Amino acid sequence: MSKDARSPSPPTPTPVAERLIRRIGLNGPISVADFMSACLTDPDGYYASQEPFGTEGDFVTAPEISQMFGELIGAFLLDRWISDGRPAPFDLVELGPGRGTLMHDVLRVMGRDPRFVRSSRVVLVEASERLKQAQRHRLAPLHPNIAWADAPPLDRPFYLVANEFFDALPVRQIVSRGGRWFERVVGLTDGELAFGLSPFPVTFRAPVGGAEGALREVPPSPEGAVRELRPAADIMMADIARAIATHGVGAALVIDYGYDSPGDGETLQAVRAHQSVDVLDRPGESDLSAHVDFSALAAASVAAGAFAHGPVGQGAMLLQLGLLERAGRLGAGADADGRAAIEAAVHRLAGDGEGEMGTLFRALAVTARAAPPPGFQPPKGSAA
C-alpha cells in the first residue's frame, strides 16, 4: 500500500480517556455520574486543563454578558442580609465562581455598605487552582477577607449564590427496559468507550408533593425512556437549606438552566468551543452538564426545614429586581453604540422566547422565612 493510500491513524486518546479505559478494563463499567465526575475533575480533566468561559472558551455565562446581572444579584443578597437584621459575622459564598466575574460585580454593590465589609468573609467554593489564581487577582482589591473551600461552610450565617453550578454536578441516568429501570453505564466496546446498561434493575423513588420529603416508587416509563437523577445536587441543597433553617437567617440563590418538574428525557450534553459534541468524544476536553431538576432542589430544601421560593424564570426575576431601571441608568451616560449594547444585553438576559435565557434559565431562592424575597414575589393582582 502506498503512503497516500494508508488509512489515517486513530486520534490519540486524551489522558482522561486512557485512565477511564484502564479503570473500566480492570473493574468493569462505571455509572454516567462517575464518568462525568472523572471528565470534569480528573487532574487532566476539563476544569484543570481547559478555559471554559467567554467567547474564547466553550460557553458564555450571564455575568460575562453584562455587569447588570451581578449587580442585581448583589442587590438581592444585600437586601436579604439587611432584612435579616445584618447578622455578624457571616459568609458571602459563591459556588463555582469561575473567573470571579459575578462576585466582582456583587462585591461592588454590597461593598457600598461599610458594615458589610466589616462583618463578612467571602468564601469561594472552587476546585481549580488555575481559576483560584484568577479569582484572587480580580477580587482581592474589593474585599480584605477572602477564603477558598471545597464545600460551602455552614457553621455560621451565610448568603450564597450558585450560578451555573448545579448543572455540572454528576448525574445518574436510568432507562426503562421491559417494565423495569436499569442504570446506564459507560463500558468498553472493542477497546473504546461506549454506553450500555447495567444487568441489574434499580428501584427509583421520587418525592411525593415535595412538602414533607416522603418518597414513592416510580413505575417504569414507556420502553426506552430515560430519567436523570442528581443525588449529589439534592444532598448539597439539603445541607445548605438545613443550615439556613438552623441559623434562622440567611439565603441561597440558585440560577441554572433546567426544568420545574421531572419527566422523561436525557439532557446530558457536551460543549466544546460553543458547539455540541458527542458526550464520549475526547473526555476531559469538553464541558459536561445536565439540566437541573428544580423541583428536586425545592423538595430537598423544604424537607430540610427551609422555605423554597420559585422556581421562576431568570428573566422574570431580573425584571422584578430592577433590570430595566438599571439599564436605563447605565444607558443615560452612554453613546448610541453603548445604549444598543445595553439593550442587547437586557434582551439576552431576560428574553422570554423559546430557548432564550430568560425562560430557559430558572431561579430558586431558599430562605429561613416564608415571605417571598424580591424577585420571587407574585405578580400584582395575582393570588399569593
Q: Which amino acid is at 96?
A: G
Residue 382: band (very low, low, confident or very high) from pLDDT cuts 50, 70, 90: low
Look at residue 1 in the predicted model and tell me its pLDDT: 34
Q: What is the pLDDT of residue 46?
A: 83
Q: State the Cα–Cα distance between residues 352 and 347, nearest whole angstrom.
A: 8
Residue 299, Cβ neighbours under 10 Å: how many?
25
The H or E element spanning position 125 is: strand 120-125
Q: Is residue 260 within 8 Å of 174, Cβ to Cβ? A: no
**pLDDT at residue 258 above 80?**
yes
The interaxial angle of helices 67-83 and 323-332, nearest 10 deg, is 130
Cβ count near 260 (within 10 Å): 15
Query: pLDDT by residue (tens digit) across 212-253?
Result: 455 677 777 789 999 999 999 999 999 999 999 999 999 999
Amino acid identity at 88: A
Rounded to 10 degrees, what is the CA torsion of 65, 68, 70, 75? -170
Q: Please report which helix (H) or strand (E) contains residue 215, including its range.
A: strand 215-217
Each residue's pLDDT tens digit, 15-44: 999 999 999 999 999 999 999 999 988 888
pLDDT of residue 8: 46
Q: What are 235's three cell numbers?
A: 444532598
Alpha-helical runs (H) found in the chain = 15-27, 32-41, 46-49, 62-65, 67-83, 101-110, 114-119, 129-139, 231-247, 294-303, 314-321, 323-332, 336-350, 357-360
Give 307's strand partners: 367
Determine the topology of domain 49-169+236-367 in CATH: Rossmann fold (3.40.50)
C-alpha cell belonging to residue 238: 439539603
Packed helices 67-83 and 314-321: angle between N→C axes, nearest 10 degrees: 70
Q: Average pLDDT of the chain? A: 89
Average pLDDT over every residue of 48-68: 71
Q: Using DSSP, state whether 200 is helix, strand or coil.
A: strand
Q: Which one-letter amino acid corresponds to residue 257?
A: Y
Quote the distance between the C-alpha of residue 34 and its chain's center.
18
Indicate the DSSP class of residue 53.
Answer: B
State how far the Cα of 123 lies from the Cα of 131, in Å rounded to an integer.
14
Exposed/middle/buried for 60, CB within 10 Å: 0-12, 13-18, 19+? middle
Residue 75 cell numbers, joined: 442587590
| Longest alpha-carbon distance in the chain | 80
Q: For residue 149, how many C-alpha atoms fall within 13 Å in the half-sphere facing its CB?
A: 16
Reported pTM: 0.89
Domain locations in the chain as residue ranges: 49-169+236-367
Termini Cα distance of the chain: 77
Pairing of strands 292-293, 287-289: unpaired
Q: What is the pLDDT of residue 211?
A: 45
pLDDT tier for residue 274 given thresholds of 50, 70 and 90: confident
Does residue 171 surpass a pLDDT of 80? yes
With a cut of 60, say whether residue 305 has pLDDT above it: yes
Helices of type H across 140-278: 231-247
In the block, residue with C-alpha cell 434582551: 347
CB 287 within 8 A of CB 59: yes
Question: What's the rounded Cα separation, in Å, for the pair 174 and 200?
Answer: 11
In the predicted structure, residue 374 carries a pLDDT above the cut 50: yes
pLDDT per residue as tens digits for the range 75-87: 999 999 999 999 9
In 155-289, where do the E strands start and end? Answer: 158-163, 172-177, 180-189, 192-202, 205-207, 215-217, 226-229, 251-259, 269-272, 275-277, 287-289
